Structure formats: structure tokens, C-alpha cells
A and B are shown apart, each in its own frame.
Chain A
Amino acid sequence: MSIATNNIAFNVEEIRKDFPILERKVNGYPLVYLDNAATSQTPQQVIDVIVNYYSNYNANIHRGVHSLSQEATDKYEAARIKIQHHFNVKKAHEIIFTSGTTHGINLVASGFASILKKGDEILVSALEHHSNIVPWQMLCEKTGAILKVIPMNEQGELIYESFEKLLSEKTKIVFLNHVSNALGTINPIKKIIDKAHTKGAAVLIDGAQAAPHIKADLQALDVDFYVVSAHKMYGPTGVGVLYGKEEWLNKLPPYQGGGEMIATVSFEKTTYAELPHKFEAGTPNICGGIAFAAAIDYIDSIGFETIARYEQELLNYATIKLNEIEGMKFYGTSREKTAVISFNIEGLHPYDIGTLLDKMGIAVRTGHHCAQPIMDFYKIPGTVRASFSFYNTKAEIDRLIEAVKKAKSMLA
């Protein structure tokens, strides 16, 4: 499926009209939304799908014989297939709907509890979201496995040579993000996956930050598990997917018990449902799944290449402009990065800058971005993080620059 064929001419002003929230004012100023790495905004096309679902065919899926249930089931399963094709996955049942990335990670980590033995090793990268480290720590406590960390360098890049050294026959699973949420670094996942496979280790990639910017071909990557959230891809919160290779998903035990995930139940024995239902206990976020597919349609209508090109242009522009401000320090200066700028100004606390930017209608993230190990590495309390999306403009970046300068003069 070529992206270039469905490219339309990119006109940011036209695109902005699709996002009603961009019209609003915050603290008396027109909103400048630069917190896209935390969550992206939702276009009208996706909002319409959500409204239409609840207005016209809200019903529980897979069980009902009635027409509404059939309709909802068809749309939900069509969404699964849309997502399957988007990530170039071989089989639709390798796509498991989850509540989001964290759910997907926990599902895999808890499944590995039945696989790992004492002394086995788990490798995670130093660039992780710290909440994503916790499931592995819990897994280690349960199984006696050992958690090892792939270190990063000053630029915020993983040190590949260290990974090679840490990797051994004892390594059973390698976990890292495709793109770092705190710094925007794009990790060389293909290289890491291939290397890990030479030792028989499985690889789980957190694709949450990559998915809005990079169209991952999961068969080409040969990754074992890949997790994403819809809300970072212009879809709703509370829904995401876990991709797992069929052989791995068959190996892992069910994560939760409940409806949908069983084939037969008696008090003596329950047999589990086939994939993907084995991992989809209970009524899922039906509307969310359908809206997720609509969000993918929306991104495709613009085209990933177009998006990537424009976002890089914004990144370059913002980097140059911010760099003109005295005392500016950037964190995460990898050559391969998405449109995320993590920065501090000498002598100023990121929290102060963020608070004043908010008063000027500019939404950025401040703090450790749930990546405390990274902040410890740089010995800073946190950063200001501006993360851009294709609906942002250079004029908005100018507003950011002016606001940072204003904040700086107020705080000096």
C-alpha cells in the first residue's frame, strides 16, 4: 500500500479546520497545543464516528443475534482488519484490542511469568517511560528473573554496543520504545530485534510515541510484540492494540478471565477461546476500536510521508528559533528524532516556565515526563517538552518563542 498515492496537497490551515479544539482560547489567548506527545487532538471525522456509533448502532458485540449487535460487531472487526493492514500484520487475530499501551505491556509481562525461570534476564532500555519499567520489575519479583538496563549516551541514544554485551542466551525478552517519549529519540529497533533473535530472545516494542509519526511494518521488523495507543494517533483515549506473533500469543496464558475469552465453561473445566478473544475478556471499548480505525483513515488521508516531512520542518524551525534564546539547553539531540523538543533554560525551573506558558495559552509538558531515570541521567529535575503535530504552525512556534522569552524575563 503506497502512502504517496493517497497524499493530498498539504495545507495546514485547511487541516486545522478539522480539529475543533484548536479554535478555543485558553486563559484569554488562542490555544497553542504543543503537548502532542502526551495526547493528540481528535479531528471532526473521528468525533463524527464516535457520535454516530452512540447515535445509531451502540450494541454489545459477538453475542447478539439482533441486527444492531451484528452491525457493531462488523464495524469492530472491520476496525481490527484496518489496523492489521495499517501495521502490515499477517493475521487479523494477531491484533488484540487493549485499553492502551500500558495494558498491552502488562499483558505481555504477566504472560511471561509462566515462561521465565529464576536467573533468566530481561533487558529494558534506559529511555523508558518509568511506568513501563514497573511491570518488568513485578515480573522479576514473581519469577526471580533479573532486570538489566541498556544505557544511553549524552545525546539520548541507546548505546548499541552495551546492548550487544548485555544480550546473552539468558535474555528471554527485550523491551524498549520505538521512540522515546521524553526526548523523541528514534531507536534502531530493527537492528535490536534482529540481534535479540540471534539469542532467541523475544522483543516487545512500545510504539506509542512512534505510531503517530512512523508507519511501522511489523512483518518487515519481525518484531514479536508491538503496542500502541489510539489517543496518540488522533483517536480516543482508552483504546489501543497489542500486536503479537501468533506463536507467541498461543504460548501466553490469558491475562484476565471473563466473558468473550472462553469457549466452554463448566465448574470442572473452562476452555479458552481462540485468538484474539482469548485476550479480550469482557465487553471491549467497541466505539473506541471503531474510532481508532477512523483515526488511521484520517492519518492516511494526509499521508505519513507528508506528515513526517512537515513535522521535521516544524522541528527544525523550532530548534533554530529556541536555540537563539540565551541559556537554552536541549536534551535528546539524536539525529534520528521525532518532532519533540525537551529543553531547559539555564537557572530556571521547567515548572516555572511551563506555568507561565500556560498563562499565555501555550500547552507544553513540564516535569520528568514519567521518565525519571532519564532526568537522573542528566541530573535535572525535569524539562519543558514541546511536541509538535502536523496541525501546528510556524506562527504557533513564534508564539512559543515569544512566550518563553517573556517567561524568562519575568523569572530572571
Chain B
Amino acid sequence: MNKTIQEIQKEIVEEFAMFDDWMQRYEYMIELGKALPLIQDKYKIDENLIKGCQSKVWVHAELEDEKLVFTADSDAIITKGIVAILIRTFSNHHPSAIIEANTNFIDDIGLKEHLSPTRANGLVSMVKQLKMYAVAYQTQLN
């Protein structure tokens, strides 16, 4: 049985709790960014770009066995780290679970500043985009 979104988020919060300062947190995020499941080049197109980011973010979604699988990329590594965290929580779940999930855990891992709507990296737009994919695929499943 797969872990639920909530379980994964709890896991991430625990991982981040091990770090004493921002530098370690960001170093970890950079590591996560490097390990991001990369989007195939053919999907790295303007239609898959998320608006509202200072850095470019491409996200692609595909349905596999009623589960939504995300792949992504960004030209900025910290943004990639944030995308990686989001994808780790949201990817491989049923669209309905993604629609219902919240992102309060971002607050708990000390990355709250990235949640501010004025923040140029557009974490908020990313979350919105992932959820929009989920809504779209949910209608397909119904």
C-alpha cells in the first residue's frame, strides 16, 4: 500500500527537522532538486510552463493506473528543489487525493517565505497547477 500524501508530508517535515539552520535546509533542497524526476524534453514546451515564476518551471502530468504521475524541470536549482518536494508529495496519487491535499507542511519545514503570493518563484502557482491537473484528470475518471 502506498503512503498517503499526509504520510509523505510528515516524512518530509521529519527530514527537515534534522537540520539546525537555513543553510543545511537549502543544501538539502538543492540535493532534492538534483534528484527531481525530469520531464522528457518533448514536454518541455511553453504550454507546460507555469506562469508567475521568475525561474522557468515545466510540469507534465500523466495518468497511470488511475494515479497521476508528475514530472518537471526548472532552470533554477532551488526552484527545482521546491518542485521536487511538491512532486514527491503529490505524484503517484489518485487525483481526488491531490485535490483534497493541503500544503501546510511547507510552513513546518521552514520554507514559508516561498508560499507568499508575492514571492517570485510562484510556489503558489505551482500548487495551483498541480491541482488543476488533478481536477482535469478527475473529470476523465468520472
Contact = CB atoms under 8 A, between A and B. Distances in A.
A, B from the same assembly: yes
What range describes how many residues of B lie at the interface?
10 to 19
Nearest to B55: A351
Contact of B75 (A349, A367, A411): A349
Contacts, number: 41
A169 interface: no
A236 interface: no
A9 interface: no
B23 A366 contact: no
Interface stretch (A88-96, A101-109, A352-360): A352-360
A352 B22 contact: no
27 contacts: A27-B22, A348-B77, A349-B55, A349-B75, A349-B76, A349-B79, A351-B54, A351-B78, A351-B121, A352-B76, A352-B77, A352-B78, A356-B26, A356-B78, A359-B22, A359-B23, A359-B26, A366-B54, A367-B54, A367-B120, A381-B54, A382-B54, A410-B23, A410-B27, A410-B30, A411-B30, A411-B77
What range describes how many residues of A lie at the interface?
10 to 19
Interface string B45-78: 0000000001110000000000000000001111
Interface of A: 27, 348-349, 351-352, 355-356, 359, 366-367, 381-382, 410-411
Contacts of B78: 351-352, 355-356
Give the top 5 A-B pairs by smallest Cβ distance, nearest first: A349-B76, A351-B76, A351-B55, A351-B54, A367-B54
Contacts of B26: 356, 359, 410
B77 A381 contact: no
A349 B22 contact: no
A285 to B, nearest CB: 23
Interface of B: 22-23, 26-27, 30, 54-56, 75-79, 120-121
Nearest to B22: A359
A349 B57 CA distance: 13
A199 B55 CA distance: 44
B22 A381 contact: no
Contacts of A27: 22
A303 to B, nearest CB: 37
B27 A351 contact: no
Nearest to A28: B22
Central interface residue in B56, B76, B78, B120, by most chain A CB within 10 Å: B76
B120 A351 contact: yes
A27 B22 CA distance: 9
B130 to A, nearest CB: 20
Contacts of A351: 54-55, 76, 78-79, 120-121
Central interface residue in A27, A352, A366, A410, by most chain B CB within 10 Å: A352
A240 B54 CA distance: 29
A103 B74 CA distance: 36
B27 to A, nearest CB: 6
A410 B23 CA distance: 9
Nearest to B121: A351
A351 B30 CA distance: 13
A411 B78 CA distance: 9
A356 B23 CA distance: 9
A410 B29 CA distance: 11
A359 B110 CA distance: 12
A108 B76 CA distance: 40
